[in-house]
Amino acid sequence: MNIRTVLTQPFSDQKPGTSGLRKQVPTFQTRNYLENFIQSIFDVLDNYQGKTLILGGDGRYYNRQAIQIILKMAAANGVGKVLVGQGGILSTPAASCVIRKNQAFGGIILSASHNPGGPDGDFGVKYNTENGGPAPEKVTSAIYERTKVIDQYKILDSEDVNLDQLGSLTMGEMTVEVIDSVADYAELMQTLFDFSKIKELVTSGHFKLCMDSLHAVTGPYAKRIFEEMLGAPAGTVTNGVPLEDFGGGHPDPNLVYAHDLVDTMFAPNAPDFGAASDGDGDRNMIVGNNFFVTPSDSLAVLAANATLVPGYKDGLAGIARSMPTSQAADRVAEKLGLDCYETPTGWKFFGNLLDVGKATLCGEESFGTGSNHVREKDGLWAVLFWLNILAERQQPVEAIVKEHWATYGQNYYSRHDYEGIETDKANTLMEQLRAKLPSLKGTQLGTYTVDYADDFSYTDPVDSSVSQKQGVRIGFTDGSRVVFRLSGTGTKGATLRVYLESYEPDTSKHGQDPQVALADFIKIADEVAQIQTLTGRDKPTVIT
Ligand code: G16
């Protein structure tokens, strides 16, 4: 066994974003780039020698090569055992599940989530800690600091592992176990949901389910769970084979990128229920027959109906949502007498709330929903949750959501993304906006009075850590809001996200096109932030 110490030089751009380090593939293929980042992770961790690490990814281009490198580096750094998903595949929620089940010290998940893949696409590395969740900021900051000074890494000279063959082997003194990517996750799902009731529904002959895996990681999970375990007809899962470039698509489950599913679900005689998931399986989009459910509404509906589902039959401890997510869930929490937490964007901010039992369900406007069953958002979990509710309530998706609005009021919601803006222009826009905030309170924008205008700052109620500058919020006295932030997950230029929300208690005004219902706020957003003037863009790239 030969452990080599390789001299290296730091890269200046290895600061993890909202969810790990994401870069274009050629950057990760640069000599020592991946190795530096992985060694920096090992360098900042304590007491992992001899213990278990979980490793897998979403199957995108460079996944297999990166796994071989990481295995050899793990062996050289004294890791005891690595559990790696077969074919290098582990969805993000499955990795979280496997970390927790095996009491691993952590996991390395290779994914750039919803970003496109392929030789010119994106790649990414996330580190998750022993609770199964994304590393908190204090860990990612330490990793980043380490990347700035790293001068060597360790790697074992060894043959590549056959990732397709289940079973155990040794690599130096380390054990490598290639595990079934789906089994532990599917088993966990069975403990939460009423599989026999869902099976009755999906095999009844009068309910059609359609799951689009977008050629990304959920294919094998969805086929095993929906088609094999729940008996849905073959073909229920479409685009179910993970491909290194996602078939050339953009594995982002929204109305723009999951267009095949949207076409199917908005056709005459559409299926009853459609869903899609993203590159690494943590996001979900829920669509009924000719009816789209916003992620914010989805969280609220799941919360309001949670006691119908076995895993949540005793009720919820609390609900948490990211700040830009609509306040629909807050209304459910209020009615149920639950605490509701508002966190910055990024699933890592839910970790403490879940760990200490303050929250049971969490959700984000960016198509992420999850619970305390793992420490990541979970796409197929959300689909099963919806199916369980549908099986209990025996109503169409649209009827359930409209009834929800009638009870709680409707939070009209939309997000406008301006992708690929020049970084300087985006920063100028945010700086100018921030400078205006102190003078906005009490003024009129359009016909609305500004109630508050600030840059969101979050103090974690568990460890008191403070995260500042998490998004500019302008709230109006009628409860409506406009929120601005720059994405932390893109790899090209900057993406400006504008989040728009208004509240409508009057049932007769429910169900309008959100772009129409929110038209005043769309105009206000452009005026106050000078979007068109400063970016040169007259419309968003993506509207969700
Ligand atoms: C990640 C984070 C999410 C976040 C999303 C969007 O999701 O885990 O919590 O909401 O990015 O972040 P941003 O607005 O900064 O682009 P994923 O699915 O990409 O891992």
The residue nearest atom 17 of ligand 1, judged by CA position, is: 113
CB 480 within 8 A of CB 502: yes
Is the pLDDT confidence value at 385 over 90? yes
Structure-block tokens of residue 142: 């330490």
Domains recognised in the chain with CATH numbers: 2-181 (3.40.120.10), 185-408 (3.40.120.10), 410-543 (3.30.310.50)
Give residue-wise pLDDT tens across range 14-47.
999 878 999 999 999 999 999 999 999 999 999 9
CA-based nearest residue to 214, from 319, 153, 306, 284? 284
Give the β-pairing of 339-343 and 494-504: unpaired
> Strand (E) positions, 372-436?
410-421
pLDDT score of 276: 97
Rounded-to-integer distance, Cα 473 and Cα 471, Å: 6
Is the pLDDT confidence value at 488 over 90? no
Average pLDDT for 274-290: 97
Instruction: Provide the annotated active-site residues.
Output: 113
Q: Is the CB of 348 under 6 A from ligand 1?
A: no
The residue nearest atom 7 of ligand 1, judged by CA position, is: 19
DSSP state of 426: H
Rounded-to-integer distance, Cα 69 and Cα 88, Å: 12
CB 397 within 8 A of CB 273: yes
C-alpha 284 – ligand 1 centre gap (Å): 12
pLDDT score of 513: 95
Give the β-pairing of 209-212 and 273-277: parallel
Q: Is the CB of 499 under 6 A from ligand 1?
A: no
Is the pLDDT confidence value at 85 over 80? yes
- 3-state SS of 117-140 is CCCCCEEEEEEECCCCCECCHHHH
Q: Is the CB of 347 under 6 A from ligand 1?
A: yes
- 3-state SS class at 258: coil
- 3-state SS class at 504: strand
User: Quick one: which atom of ligand 1 is closest to the CA of 112?
Assistant: 19
pLDDT score of 492: 81
Ligand 1 pocket test: pick from 364, 365, 430 the residue with the most ligand atoms within 8 Å of its Cβ: 364
Is the pLDDT confidence value at 309 over 80? yes
pLDDT score of 40: 98
CA-based nearest residue to 221, from 372, 55, 91, 370? 91
Average pLDDT, the chain: 96
Q: Is the CB of 128 under 6 A from ligand 1?
A: no
Q: Is the CB of 96 under 6 A from ligand 1?
A: no
Q: Is the CB of 115 under 6 A from ligand 1?
A: no
Q: Is the CB of 19 under 6 A from ligand 1?
A: yes
- 3-state SS of 412-449 is EEEEEEEEEECHHHHHHHHHHHHHHHHHHCCCEECCEE
The residue nearest atom 2 of ligand 1, judged by CA position, is: 346
Structure-block tokens of residue 288: 């009924």
CA-based nearest residue to 387, from 514, 275, 466, 270? 275
Q: What percent of the chain has pLDDT over 70?
A: 100
CA-based nearest residue to 535, from 365, 417, 413? 417
C-alpha 278 – ligand 1 centre gap (Å): 11
Report which of residues 98 and 136 the model is more confident about.
Answer: 98
User: Quick one: which atom of ligand 1 is closest to the CA of 20?
Assistant: 20
Rounded-to-integer distance, Cα 131 and Cα 354, Å: 10
Q: How far is CA 106 from the centre of its chain?
A: 19
pLDDT score of 61: 98
Q: Is the CB of 18 under 6 A from ligand 1?
A: yes
Give residue-wise pLDDT tens across range 510-532.
999 999 999 999 999 999 999 99
3 burial (CB, 10 Å; 0-12 / 13-18 / 19+) is middle
pLDDT score of 18: 79
Q: What percent of the chain has pLDDT over 90?
A: 96
CA-based nearest residue to 487, from 122, 62, 109, 56? 122
Q: Is the CB of 327 under 6 A from ligand 1?
A: no
With cut-offs at 50, 70 and 90, classify the pLDDT of residue 262.
very high
C-alpha 277 – ligand 1 centre gap (Å): 14
Q: How far is CA 387 from the centre of its chain?
A: 20
Q: Is the CB of 346 under 6 A from ligand 1?
A: yes
Is the pLDDT confidence value at 341 over 90? yes
CA-based nearest residue to 118, from 280, 244, 28, 251? 244
Give residue-wise pLDDT tens across range 435-480.
999 999 999 999 999 999 999 999 999 999 999 999 999 999 999 9
39 burial (CB, 10 Å; 0-12 / 13-18 / 19+) is buried
Is the pLDDT confidence value at 156 over 90? yes
Length of the chain, in residues: 544
Ligand 1 pocket test: pick from 127, 137, 214, 489 the residue with the most ligand atoms within 8 Å of its Cβ: 489
User: Torsion over CA of 5, 47, 148 and 84, rounded to 10 degrees?
Assistant: 70
DSSP state of 47: S
C-alpha 345 – ligand 1 centre gap (Å): 7
Ligand 1 pocket test: pick from 345, 378, 496 the residue with the most ligand atoms within 8 Å of its Cβ: 345
User: Quick one: which atom of ligand 1 is closest to the CA of 366?
Assistant: 10
C-alpha 3 – ligand 1 centre gap (Å): 37
pLDDT score of 19: 83
Rounded-to-integer distance, Cα 85 and Cα 90, Å: 5
User: Quick one: which atom of ligand 1 is closest to the CA of 92?
Assistant: 20
Please name the residue that has the structure tokens 């267009």. 259
C-alpha 489 – ligand 1 centre gap (Å): 6
Q: Is the CB of 126 under 6 A from ligand 1?
A: no
**How many other CB atoms are there within 10 angstroms of residue 256's CB atom?**
13
Is the pLDDT confidence value at 490 over 80? no
pLDDT score of 491: 75
C-alpha 155 – ligand 1 centre gap (Å): 31
CB 121 within 8 A of CB 115: yes
Q: Is the CB of 488 under 6 A from ligand 1?
A: yes
